[in-house]
């Protein structure tokens, strides 16, 4: 490696989640990248529903206090020894995890279940600088197309999760799909369903702003689940048979139950939103069996999902960046989570 660059003599900032509801912007000495690693200047970090859950109540897999944020894009400041695919000045985008490639799950193509995938997740994107570990550099880091905005490039990780879920669900062009939940993930699912050519896409949710965002982003139909006739309106979809595919994105048990109740006979339910620990879903086994239902619960993503998401973003025709509807500075990060809690923003770009 070359001599330490001049920026390392200055203090960098990094947000720490100290405890639920308490964020601190701390000074820290940016490290130099080790073998196989990249030191990145963060150009954009995005708010995330998982981060919001952690901010609210902590996370069972994350030990506090901890560096915070995991959706990002930026510019390479320095490459560690042995890195040949990237160099200083490259604009890059990355997913914050990567599997080991050697374990039981990786050998079976279930890399999303690899203990390394979430066990070595990269945190600390709400910062001026971040070091991308070697295992992520090797498998899930990409050159950002020059015409792709940093904000949209930072969607690589959530889009990879959506790609994995829809690969399991296999939506078809002739189908009616319903998304329950009009948050960022729900509307990202809607956008990807539209790109897949699905005939009719319905978004069911609550909150006037979110329902308006769903309509503006291209939902064929928007249903307010608070309305008295919401259930009968859903039942009338698809010629009165109900939706072929239901994707649940609220992460609430009530949403899971509703998704199970609304899908047509022979249909598929994707339980995408993760619920709080200790919760349980009661399933009518008779309906599940005699209605021939398929229940899917996708988790995380695989390298092939990341590659597919990268290809989608690189084509520049997906329009996923439309779900980013606010921008704030790193110094204003606490306000970002207040806005997310209040539901006044869909997805926020944090610009250091």
Mention every residue, 6+ apart, whose C-beta is less than 8 A from residue 341. Answer: 52, 56
Report pLDDT for 11: 75
350: left (phi over 0), alpha (psi -120 to 50) or beta: beta
- pLDDT above 70 covers a percentage of the chain that reads 97
Strands in 12-19's sheet, in edge-to-edge order, are 22-28, 12-19, 66-67
Residue 171 buriedness (CB in 10 A; 0-12 / 13-18 / 19+): buried
Mean pLDDT of 331-342: 94
Report pLDDT for 1: 43
Please name the fold of domain 6-155+324-351.
Answer: Quinone Oxidoreductase; Chain A, domain 1 (3.90.180)
DSSP state of 99: -
Record the tokens describing residue 204, joined without a space: 């069911």
pTM higher than 0.85 for the full model? yes
**Euclidean distance between CA atoms 75 and 168, whole angstroms:** 33
Domains 6-155+324-351 and 161-296 belong to one CATH topology:
no
The sign of the dihedral angle between the CA atoms of 110, 113, 119, 121 is positive
pLDDT at residue 9 is higher than 80: no
Domain ranges of the chain: 6-155+324-351, 161-296
Would you say domain 161-296 falls under CATH 3.30.390.50? no
pLDDT digits over 148-187, tens only?
999 999 999 999 999 999 999 999 999 999 999 999 999 9
pLDDT at residue 2 is higher than 70: no
Report pLDDT for 243: 98
Mean pLDDT of 298-327: 97
Half-sphere exposure of 63 (CA within 13 A, CB side): 2
Beta partners for 12? 28
Mean pLDDT of 252-269: 97
Residue corresponding to tokens 């993760």: 274
């Amino acid at each position: 490696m070359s001599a330490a660059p001049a920026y390392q003599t200055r203090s960098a900032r990094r947000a720490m989640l100290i405890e639920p509801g308490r964020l601190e912007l701390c000074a820290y000495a940016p490290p130099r990248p080790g073998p196989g690693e990249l030191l990145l200047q963060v150009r954009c970090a995005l708010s995330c529903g998982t981060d919001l859950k952690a901010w609210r109540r902590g996370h069972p897999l994350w030990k506090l206090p901890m560096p915070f944020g995991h959706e990002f894009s930026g510019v390479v400041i320095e490459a560690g020894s042995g890195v040949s695919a990237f160099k200083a000045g490259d604009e890059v985008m990355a997913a914050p995890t990567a599997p080991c490639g050697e374990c039981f799950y990786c050998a079976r193509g279930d890399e999303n279940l690899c203990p390394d995938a979430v066990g070595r997740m990269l945190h600390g994107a709400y910062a001026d600088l971040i070091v991308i570990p070697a295992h992520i550099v090797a498998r899930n880091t990409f050159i950002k197309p020059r015409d792709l905005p940093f904000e949209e490039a930072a969607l690589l990780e959530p889009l990879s999760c959506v790609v994995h879920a829809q690969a399991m669900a296999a939506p078809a062009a002739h189908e009616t799909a319903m998304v329950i939940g009009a948050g960022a993930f729900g509307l990202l699912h809607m956008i990807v369903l539209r790109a897949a050519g699905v005939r009719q896409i319905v978004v069911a949710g609550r909150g006037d702003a979110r329902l308006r965002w769903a309509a503006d982003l291209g939902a064929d139909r928007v249903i307010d689940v608070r309305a008295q006739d919401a259930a009968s309106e859903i039942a009338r979809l698809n010629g009165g048979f109900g939706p072929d595919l239901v994707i649940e994105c609220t992460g609430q048990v009530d949403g899971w139950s509703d998704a199970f109740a609304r899908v047509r006979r022979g249909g598929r339910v994707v339980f995408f939103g993760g619920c709080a620990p200790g919760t349980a879903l009661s399933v009518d086994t008779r309906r599940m069996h005699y209605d021939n239902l398929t229940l899917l619960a996708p988790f995380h993503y695989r390298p092939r999902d990341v590659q597919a998401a990268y290809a989608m973003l690189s084509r520049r025709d997906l329009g996923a960046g439309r779900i980013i509807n606010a921008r704030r500075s790193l110094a204003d990060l606490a306000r970002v989570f207040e806005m997310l809690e209040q539901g006044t923003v869909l997805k926020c770009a944090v610009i250091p």
